[in-house]
Amino acid sequence: MQQPQLREGFAGQDMYVIPRPVLASANRHPLFRSLYPTDIGWYPRARYHYRDRPGGARQDHLMLCVAGNGYVVVNGRKNHLQAGQLLIIPRNAPHTYWAGDDAPWSIYWMHFLGDEADYYVERIPGPGQPIPADSATQLEAVRLFRDCLDTLETGYALPTLIYAAQSARHILSLLLFRNPAFPLEQKAENRQQLLESTLELMRNRLVDSIGLDEFARHAGLSVSHFSALFRDQTGQSPMAYFTQLKIRKACRLLDLSPKPVKVVAIETGYSDPYYFSRVFKKVMGISPERYRTIKKG
């Protein structure tokens, strides 16, 4: 397929990018900073619409497709967004998206931030994964988008911005918590999928040195929210759990192979064998050398 061409401007479009100094000033108000749009728009029949953000965006990004279709790639995973579906791209997640060739999408979109933003992002089944929208829910969401856009047309006075912020919260609550096509029961399933995906990444990367930031990006959540969610499901912090997996692998290598401790350290992601020994002793209560001499079974 020929790569879509980036073009700015679509007939009938409506869009507002709220000036960042205005956002910073309004962010002092609790009714605004809890959740607010930074950019919001309507792109009808957006032929050649294309964006590529290798480093992601600084805001979470909602897209609601009301006609046509397009494609979204988030963290290397491609999804097809069609009419009657929505998706969220978490902030900082690398992504690319483009409108379909034969029937380019018509989308309402919103970039958003705020103290409560992570609670909405948590609801999604996966970064960039489409979610169906019930027809009545979609109609109401479109009305709310139009109301928000019409409100911002009047300017950026604080009362206007607070109203826009409340409209943004209403849009997200409607699509993610009052959408019959996406039941509340999905939440527990989403959390389980998030945990399983993260644990799989941990198991596959035991030889690497991975920080908390990378795990959070993989989950499509902020570091603080990811850490709280992981601890809620496992009883441990992500890094403590990852360390335990590494040491469990180290124990198997010490039990089943004659490899020197230095090599075992490298194969479990520790370039410094002395640091590895300290971590091993903290987890197991004894040094790796002492562990190897103990008769098991």
The Cα-based distances of 50 to 60, 64, 92 in angstroms read 18, 16, 18
* pLDDT for the residue 108: 98
- What pLDDT does 4 receive? 43
The pLDDT of residue 1 is above 60: no
In the three-class reduction of DSSP (H, G, I as helix; E, B as strand; rest coil), residue 86 is classed as: strand
Q: Is 152 exposed, middle or buried (0-12, 13-18, 19+ CB in 10 A)?
A: buried
> Residue 175's closest CA among 71, 60, 86, 65?
86
The predicted pLDDT at position 5 comes to 47
Architecture of the structural domain at 185-297: Orthogonal Bundle (1.10)
Question: 176-212: per-residue pLDDT in tens?
Answer: 999 999 876 555 566 667 778 889 999 999 999 899 9
- Using a CB cutoff of 8 Å and minimum separation of 24, what contacts does 147-156 make? 148/37, 148/40, 149/14, 149/16, 149/40, 149/41, 149/42, 152/16, 152/18, 152/40, 153/16, 156/18, 156/19, 156/22
Query: Percentage of the chain with pLDDT > 70?
Result: 94
Q: Which residues lie across from 14 on neighbouring strands? A: 42
- d(C-alpha 121, C-alpha 22), whole Å: 25
Calculate the average pLDDT of the chain.
Answer: 91
* pLDDT value of position 157: 96
The confidence score (pLDDT) of residue 253 equals 94
pLDDT, tens digit (0-9, with 9 covering 90-100), for 102-147: 999 999 999 999 999 998 998 888 899 999 999 999 999 999 999 9
The reported pLDDT for the residue numbered 187 is 57
Biggest distance spanned by C-alpha atoms of the chain: 77
Count the residues in the chain: 297
Cβ(172)–Cβ(120) under 8 Å? yes
Per-residue pLDDT tens digits for 72-109: 999 999 999 999 999 999 999 999 999 999 999 999 99
| Per-residue model confidence (pLDDT) at position 186 | 58
Write the pLDDT tens digit of every residue in 238-270.
Answer: 999 999 999 999 999 999 999 999 999 999 999
> Would you state the pLDDT for residue 57?
95
Residue 216's identity, in one-letter code, is A
pLDDT of residue 295: 73
Which residues make Cβ contacts (< 8 Å) with residue 195, sequence separation at least 6? Answer: 230, 233, 234
Residue type, 4: P
Please say whether the beta carbons of 101 and 55 come within 8 A. no
CA distance 49 to 107: 10
* pLDDT at site 129: 92
pLDDT value at position 191?
Answer: 66
Strand order in the sheet with 50-53: 50-53, 95-99, 69-74, 77-82
Domain residue limits, the chain: 14-183, 185-297
Alpha-carbon distance 226 to 218, whole Å?
A: 10
- Give the pLDDT confidence score for residue 196 in this predicted structure: 83
For residue 47, the model assigns a pLDDT of: 93
Q: What per-residue confidence (pLDDT) applies to 3?
A: 43
Specify the pTM. 0.65
Identify the pLDDT of residue 220. Answer: 78
> Does the structure show a pLDDT above 70 at 226?
yes
Alpha-helical segments (H) within the chain: 20-26, 30-33, 117-121, 135-152, 158-177, 186-204, 212-219, 223-234, 238-256, 261-267, 273-284, 288-293
Considering the segment(s) 14-183 as one domain, its CATH architecture is Sandwich (2.60)
Q: What pLDDT score does 125 carry?
A: 84
For residue 168, how many other CB atoms are within 10 A of its CB?
A: 26
